[in-house]
Chains A and B, each alone.
Chain A
Amino acid sequence: MKFHIIAAKDMKILIRDHNALILMFILPMLLISVAGLALGGTFEDNIRIDVLVVDLDNRDLSKEFVQFLEDIDILDVDMESNEFAARDRVKNKEYGRLVIVPPGFTESIMTGQDTELLIISDPSEDSQNTVLEKIIEGYANRMSTYVVTIKTVTTYGVPTYDQEKVFDIIKVVDRFIASPPVAVVTQSSTTDTKDFSPFIQYVPGFAVMFLLLTCVEAGSVSLLKEQESGTLRRLVTAPISRSEIIGGKIASIFIRGFIQLSVLLLFGQVVFDLNLGSSIAAIIILISAVTLAGTGFGMLVAVLVKTKDQASSLSSMLVLTMSAMGGSWWPLFIEPQFMQDIAHFTITAWAMDGFYDLLIFDTGVSGIMKEVGVLLLMSMIFFWIATTRFKFE
């Protein structure tokens, strides 16, 4: 296999291209800094999720749950004592979401019984609903751990009426959850939300936008440049297969995109204290999936145009539109629902969903499987079209 020779050559050319390096790293860093510092306050004011809560239990754990919701900055929590009145207020669109804590919620958990938290929401506010659902799912996961623990210990003889003993056990579980002993279990149990810092929006937002610009530049403009300069013809006449040539190109675009996205996220972490989540594996998987989709997109543009000048103008148009629609410049959930639906035809929207999952909700690998799956599907479709239609002559 000789594809690595092509990839290494492309990387050497990149290192000497100061303009490309500025576009890849310096410009996005500047934009992230300016946008995050200048627009952060205005931006935070816009991200509010109203929620009405009916606490029909009104005991220790339900009160703790309400406090948990009130402690989250982006939630505006109001209480309502009457369930029917609360349902009417949501029906009348006075509130977008209603959370009902059932009677006996605390009792059920303490005795190891199944229970539920009910969310009633206005379907026209899908993104805000999703954010609330993820927050409550995080809390519910913790409660589920308690229930499972209690079910387990009662199986081995601890009586459920021995509340003191059960409480002691829960305290022990809490201590274990605070310092997770087994990653798979504790990742879901410690699901937590972060404050919606403007950098949670702008670091991945601009990083993804500039990644797409890089991928298109490397994928289409440089490929067409090779076509126009004759270097591609020369390669085709050498003893190297066409799939190795394309493989080399894909490898070089992927490497530069992966490095770019990683560096920009690390920049956000180091300079603006951006929390990238507790799972390194999750962030690497997401960066890889986004970069692969971007690489496919870059290759796709190469077969849609005939010259590198056409590629430059088409790519700017496509990337800027995708970035605006897909949530690079502002959060998707402030867009109307139909725009959010359209946005999910773009790489940007799925990438941003994935970054929100990790940066806000710290969902770990399991929380980003859907986004990663869609991004990989997109990349496969792009690669298939690009490789079957690309003309080497």
Chain B
Amino acid sequence: MTEALINDAIISIDKVVKRYNGFTAVDEISFNIKKGEIFGLLGPNGAGKSTLISILCCLFTQDSGKITIDGFDNIKDSIRIKNVIGVVPQEISLYPTLSARENLAFYGKIYGLSKKALHSRIEILLDMAGLTERADDMIQGFSGGMKRRINIAAALLHDPKILFMDEPTTGVDPQSRKRIYDTIVDLNKQGMSVLFTTHQMEDAQKLCHRIGIVDKGQLIALDTLTGLLELTGESDLIHVEAKDIPPNAVESIRKIETVQQVSIDEDSMTVQLLKGRELLVNIIDILISEGAKVEFINIKEPDLETLFLHLTGTKLRG
């Protein structure tokens, strides 16, 4: 995508707040998404990503703050917004006993497409999904990846300006994942702005021009991938899987001068630190001497997971 395409904001989000029963799911989030941009919202489950994307899709409204999409206010002009956005929900929102073609025809009619336009769009999208041969088969006979592709196609019938995708690669095999990536890139090349939520780092790293990191309802970082990774400095990430990690060992590791964060799960520990390769032996020594049964060790270069741990003190997954 050329820089020329990325210019004005097509989505503007200003101090948006959404609460449920006293719990603040979205807490004063503000940012813009530029026209022609692929924007990823990254964060763990429950961070507030899906709530924010649901508000942007006009599924419900925010308690306070202002949202403008393609120049329309999301509260006053929701029907106009719905005509310029396409939504790919996290679930396979298709009717299993209808064929791929019938599902697409149903959603196309809901978007008010004429018979001719509908026929033409369905053929284009079936081809894009690589499912022209299976067009008249019922969805219930499709693999997970095939269903995902039709799920995306159903959001593109009316050729939207903006595509919202909620966890589009959840539960798909590597081949289908690659196909979905290619589809997103192709759509973007045609000028479509894309906002997707994910808790998969791979999605964000491979696709996004910019990434926003959300945790506990707040936007804690927003930049290009390169910009974000610079925040971690020269940090490495050591991941240890071990049984019976004693608290003393964790305390001793925390006391190492260059250690920045230590995160503990049931049978694993993740340590973010400078000069990880030099200090790896020290960490293993501490664990073994304190009685931990080390089973697996991995050292990683800085990535979004490193960044997330750096920013929040917790791992991205889980």
Q: Which residues of A contact B (CB under 8 A)?
A: 2, 5-6, 9, 12-13, 16-17, 229-231, 233-241, 392-393
Contacts and interface: CB of A to CB of B under 8 A. Distances in A.
A239 B113 CA distance: 12
A366 to B, nearest CB: 43
A2 B109 contact: yes
Nearest to B112: A239
B274 interface: no
A81 to B, nearest CB: 72
B110 A5 contact: yes
A230 B98 contact: no
Contact of B94 (A12, A231, A239, A392): A231
Interface string B18-55: 00000000000000000000000000000000000010
Interface stretch (B77-85, B247-255, B258-266, B296-304): B77-85
Nearest to A10: B95
A234 B106 contact: no
B95 A239 contact: no
Contacts of B107: 234, 238
A97 to B, nearest CB: 56
Contact of A2 (B60, B93, B95, B110): B110
A12 B103 CA distance: 11
Interface of B: 54, 57-60, 79, 82-83, 85, 87, 89-95, 97-98, 102, 106-107, 109-112, 154-155
A13 B106 CA distance: 12
Contacts of B79: 239, 241
Nearest to A238: B110
- Interface of chain B, main secondary structure: loop
Contacts of A5: 106, 109-110
A17 B90 contact: no
Contacts of A241: 79
Nearest to A245: B110
Contacts of B91: 229-230, 233
Contacts of A230: 89-93
Residue of B59, B109, B110 with most partner-chain A CB within 10 A: B110
Contacts of A13: 95, 97-98
24 contacts: A2-B109, A2-B112, A6-B110, A9-B95, A9-B98, A9-B106, A13-B97, A16-B97, A17-B97, A229-B91, A229-B94, A230-B91, A230-B92, A231-B93, A231-B95, A233-B59, A234-B155, A235-B110, A237-B59, A238-B87, A238-B110, A241-B79, A393-B59, A393-B60
Nearest to A244: B110
Contacts of B83: 239
B77 to A, nearest CB: 11
Contacts of B58: 236-237
Nearest to A236: B59
Contacts of B155: 234
Given A2-B109, A9-B106, A12-B102, A237 B94 contact: no
A53 B88 CA distance: 76
Contacts of A234: 87, 89, 93, 107, 154-155
Contacts of A238: 82, 87, 107, 110-111
B196 to A, nearest CB: 15
Residue of B93, B98, B107 with most partner-chain A CB within 10 A: B93
A240 B93 contact: no
A233 B92 CA distance: 11
Given A2-B109, A229-B93, 14 more contacts: A12-B98, A13-B97, A16-B97, A231-B95, A233-B91, A234-B89, A234-B93, A234-B107, A234-B154, A237-B82, A238-B87, A239-B83, A239-B110, A393-B59
A241 B110 CA distance: 10
A2 B83 CA distance: 15
A21 B89 CA distance: 31
A240 B92 contact: no
A6 B95 CA distance: 12
Nearest to A5: B109
Given A5-B110, A238-B107, A233 B97 contact: no
A392 B59 CA distance: 8
B97 A237 contact: no
A239 B82 contact: yes
B109 to A, nearest CB: 5
Nearest to B102: A12
A80 to B, nearest CB: 67
List 9 tightest A-B contacts by C-beta distance, closest first.
Answer: A230-B91, A230-B93, A234-B93, A239-B82, A237-B87, A237-B57, A230-B89, A231-B93, A5-B109
Residue of A16, A239, A392, A393 with most partner-chain B CB within 10 A: A239
Contacts of B154: 234
A393 B95 contact: no
A234 B89 CA distance: 7
Residue of A12, A13, A231, A238 with most partner-chain B CB within 10 A: A238
A318 to B, nearest CB: 27
Contacts of B109: 2, 5
A13 B97 CA distance: 6
Contacts of A240: 110
A191 B192 CA distance: 71
A230 B91 CA distance: 6
A218 to B, nearest CB: 14
Contacts of B97: 13, 16-17
A44 to B, nearest CB: 45
A278 to B, nearest CB: 42
